[in-house]
Amino acid sequence: MSEAEQVPAAGTTSVRRSRDVPLLVERARTGDPRAVARLITLVENGDALLPEIAAALAPYAGQAQVVGLTGSPGVGKSTTTNELVRALRARGHRVGVLAVDPSSPFTGGAILGDRVRMQDHATDPGVYIRSMSSRGHLGGLAAATPQAVRVLEGAGCDVVLVETVGVGQAEVEVASLADTTLVLLAPGMGDAIQAVKAGILEIADVFVVNKADRDGVDATVRDIQGMIALGERGPGQWRPQVVRSVAARGEGIDDIAAAIDKHRGWLVEHGELRRRQETRAAAEIEAIALGALRARIGSLRDGTELATLATKVAEGATDPYTAADTLLAQLAR
């Protein structure tokens, strides 16, 4: 449920500006949308409480099924997400949605319009929808998305849907975050050559050909199936499914859910789910470590070490690789 639409019950303690992490996590576990919103806000802002939040949420890691939805602008990601939420709620699942919107390179602002498209679920206490600005982060997600997923896992969501910004051929970061990645396409978005290009089409566990009531849908499905047939797969390896849908009319959503279930079963049966979770954890650790290193390097700009090394490189007294080794040695000390 949108935190903006919640009114705290009489006698409850407001968590809107709370910095009490145990209280926030406890409230989030009970489904309090304000507590969830506060935790995600702290995560997005890179607050000093972030390590404490991560430690408090650690016991709940890996308990939610994470499904990524990606594709070019206009293929119907938000509509498909909205209908998937409906199908998952019919099964009794508690659902979290992280919808990433592009931010302006000039003002840094974002419309965050995905929540507007999902107003059908705004009053459902079993659904939490959060729009996130990409804040200039490349790859189709926001930098804080992985930690926001952990917040929703901690809040007891059974399924977390992560909708990327409208992406091109190279924005594949969602595949490192999701257990199952849906790549949405639509007829008329490109020719057969597009279907065999490396990049976004290679990350799909399930292809969803949306707007299947349009002309050319058979050719689009045929192109995708032809691309899949070209791939080399060993015995037991997953073969991406191809599903047709008309999300605006709710058609094909059950088929999408069935394909997600089938992939989930394969992940568990072959131990791939644990491998993907460990890969995701490794990427998070690396990102956090690199962020800390960048912060420490940035702090050197206020001193003389980096400036001295830059002067030496500019004068030809040393090379940038040697200077970088010197800088790393100084950071280690």
How far, in Å, CA of 275 to CA of 309, rounded?
42
pLDDT given at position 120 = 73
pLDDT given at position 164 = 85
Farthest CA pair distance, the chain: 70
How far, in Å, CA of 128 to CA of 160, rounded?
9
Report the 3 state secondary structure along 49-105: CHHHHHHHHHHHCCCCEEEEEEECCCCCHHHHHHHHHHHHHHCCCCEEEEEEECCCC
pLDDT given at position 10 = 37
pTM score of the predicted model? 0.83
Q: With beta carbons less than 8 A apart as the criterion, state whether 203 and 181 touch.
A: yes
For 27-32, the CB contacts below 8 A with 24+ separation are 28/151, 28/154, 28/155, 28/156, 29/154, 29/155, 29/156, 31/94, 31/125, 31/155, 31/156
Radius of gyration of the chain (CA): 22
Which residues, at least 6 apart from 108, have a Cβ–Cβ distance to it below 8 Å? 133, 135, 136
Q: With beta carbons less than 8 A apart as the criterion, state whether 187 and 212 touch.
A: yes
Q: What is the pLDDT along the chain (333 residues), one digit of tens a residue?
A: 544 334 344 334 567 678 899 999 999 999 899 999 999 999 988 888 999 999 999 999 888 999 999 888 888 999 999 999 999 999 999 999 998 876 555 445 555 555 556 667 778 889 999 888 766 555 556 678 888 999 999 999 999 999 987 665 556 778 888 999 999 999 876 644 455 455 667 788 999 999 999 999 999 899 888 888 887 777 888 999 999 999 999 999 999 999 999 999 999 999 999 999 998 888 888 888 888 888 777 776 666 788 889 999 999 999 999 999 998 888 877
Q: Which helix (H) or strand (E) holds 181?
A: strand 180-185
Q: How many residues are listed for the chain in this entry?
A: 333
pLDDT given at position 115 = 54
Pairing of β 65-71 and β 241-244: unpaired
Q: Amino acid letter at 330? A: Q
Locus of tokens 């019950």:
9
